[in-house]
Structure formats: C-alpha cells, structure tokens
Copies of this chain bind each other. A is one copy, B any other.
Amino acid sequence: MGKTLYFEIQEYKERLRKTKQSMNEKGIEVLIVTDPANMNYLTGFDGWSFYVHQCIIALVDQDEPIWVGRGQDANAARLTTWLSEENIKPYTDDYVQSLIKHPMDFVSDVLKERGYDKKIIATEMDAYYYTAKCQERLVLGLPNAVFKDGTNIVNWVKIIKSDTEVEYIRKAARIAEKAMETAYNSVDEGVRQCDAAANVYHAQISGTEEYGGDYTAIVPLMPSGIRTSTPHLSWTDEPYKNGDTVILELAGCYRRYHCPLSRTMIIGEAPQKVRDLAAVVAEGLTNALNNVKPGMTCEEVERVWANSIAKSGFIKDSRIGYSMGLNYPPDWGEHTASLRPGDKTVLQPNMTFHMIPGIWLDECGVDISESFRVTKNGCETFTNYPRRLLEK
C-alpha cells in the first residue's frame, strides 16, 4: 500500500525509545496510549477515528508498539504508521458504541494473547477520550495486572521538538499569518461574522502555494462585542457593527503541528480603555519574550509579565501560556509545562510555547499572543505579525 509517513522511521523509533526509558524509570511495563496526538507521535497514526476507542500499546521490552482500533480504520493504520501487519489489531464493529461489548475488552484480550496481562500497566488516566468506562473495563478484564497512572508520559517526551518538528511549526506559522491577515481583511462593518470565519477557514486549509494546511485542533475563536468578555466563543451570523471589538485566536496547522496566533481588532476607532489595555498586554508580552532563555523556569517567565503589568492596575489571574505543537481536537496545548506561578519546568532549547496573556474584563477583553521556540540563548517567535491592537 502507498504509505504516508511524515517523519523518518528512525525518528519514530527514537520517540518510542525515550517513552520506554520513561516507562522504565517509573516501573511501567505496558503503556496504553489513547491520546490521538500521542498515538500519532509514536507511530504516525492519523485519521478522524478518535470518536471510537482506540489505542497504541507500548511494551517496554518490545521494539514495536501495537495499534488497536476499529476494523474499518485498520487500513488507516496500514497507510499512516510504520507498524508491521502483526501489530495492527482491529476489532469488529459490534464493539462500537455498544451497550454490551467495550473496545477495552478487546484490548484486554490482546494483552492476554501476548502474555502481558500480569504486568504493570499504565493508562493515560486524564487524557481526552480515555473515559472512566475504559479504565473500569480494563481493570475488570485484567485482574492480574497492576495499574498505574501514565498521564502525560508521552507528552513530556514530546515537549522538546526535533528539527523536523520545528520545521513543521514554521510552516504552520506561514499559514497562521495568512489566516490572521485574511481575518483582518474580512472582518468589517456589515459583514456577517460567519462569512469572515469562512474566509479564515479557507485560508487555514488551502495553506500556501507550496503546501496545504490541516484542520486545527481548536476552531477559529472569534468572539465579538459583548462576547469578547469570555475567550472560547466563536462566530454567529450577525453582521459586525462599527465599534465592535473582535478577538481572533487562530492557528495554522501543518501535518498536525500547530502555530497559534492571537490578535484583537476594533472596527472603527478604539475606546481609550481598550487601547490602554492593548498597550499593557503588548508591552508585557514583549517584555516576557525578551527575557526567555534556557535554564529559566516557566514561573519565572510569568513573573516578568506580572511585573510588567503590575504598574497598570490590570490583573490577569490565569496562566499566560503553555507548551504546544502536535495535536488533535479539542486542544493544541500539550498539557505539560504552563507559564504560570508554581510551574518549575526548566526551559530547554526546542521547547515550543504559545504565550497568550489575554486580559478579559467584565465587558471586553484583549488577547495578543506569540508562539515561540526556546533557542540556545533566547527565543525565536514563529510568526511575523504586528504585535498590537489592530484598528480598522
């Protein structure tokens, strides 16, 4: 079959090696990976099949993991992973969204068949799509196993990107710039919000002349007017009005690697309060970025921001950024390091973050963000787009 692999097999094997090393350190013999991004990271597996239960089983003493999924998705495993046929284990369709059989029963059977049912098994307890029922059925099906929490084991391996991964994020950045420019050009008085959003999607997916874009793990978040008082609303079909604030939180995505980018725009002249808020956010963001360097902790980066805005009187009580990269819906964040008080993660070269120090007041909000890579002595921002309030 005509395989599509986006990295050298050696790179996948290196990722697996690091994962197994982490498993060894934690005394874990079997890791059941259900996060779609982690499944992709270890094997290349791609497809919108995470709406049914599926997993990659990493065995600490084996060179290849096992893919388990729905029968009709087995060809996707054959086309998009480096796994050999013996490690592609499809279940029949009567396991799908059934009230009688559960796909994790099949996973138990696979582990029994391979002799791994009496081992120390870790599951991604807090990963999307790994439901409470999955754990219940697995524990029931494997009475002789010892269970551990394997949340974020692969995520922490993922936090430092390879040069190819960085290259993919750079490509995503070109798409993000194009999507933001499209948003700026499309949003205007009298234009329906849905028509502006449609143009943004078009830009995200068509990508550049050299390469296309993928669907992003979060839809374009484009609240306007009163809806900017909360960050996760999207468009409606109402037309924009003169004076509307519009928050644009977008991303470009290339081969599932993301480059997020946020800006706030005003249709017409901005009220002084919004201008002031934007100036504070942009200055705080720039100060924080200018201070990023390897060896610093995540909370120290947040501290630079907090000090910068302290004098303005505005308050920001949520984290200002997070590690990001390879992902599937519903999140492009990696759930490891966050730029916030208490996070002692030490920055290292080729970690990649989205720094998004938005401030939301009761009736409006301002978001201005940058995605960046930690370099040998500072940081590289991925996109090149005016770092300020956009007035139109």
Residue ranges of A at the interface with B (Cβ–Cβ < 8 Å): 1-2, 4, 46-51, 71-76, 79-80, 92-94, 96-97, 100, 102, 123, 125-136, 149, 151, 192-195, 197-199, 201-207, 211-215, 218-219, 221, 225-227, 229-237, 317-319, 322, 329-331, 333, 335, 338, 340, 342, 360, 362
Contact = CB atoms under 8 A, between A and B. Distances in A.
Copies, count: 2
B215 A236 contact: no
Q: Which 5 A-B pairs have the closest CB atoms?
A: A194-B212, A212-B237, A132-B135, A75-B230, A93-B318
B333 A97 contact: yes
B226 A79 contact: yes
Contacts of A237: 207, 211-212
A212 B192 contact: yes
Contacts of A198: 201-206, 213
Contacts of A331: 51
A260 to B, nearest CB: 13
A232 B47 CA distance: 5
Given A205-B197, A212-B193, A74 B1 contact: no
Given A48-B221, A192-B212, 12 more contacts: A47-B234, A48-B234, A51-B330, A72-B232, A72-B318, A75-B229, A75-B362, A76-B232, A93-B318, A97-B335, A102-B126, A123-B132
A2 B212 CA distance: 39
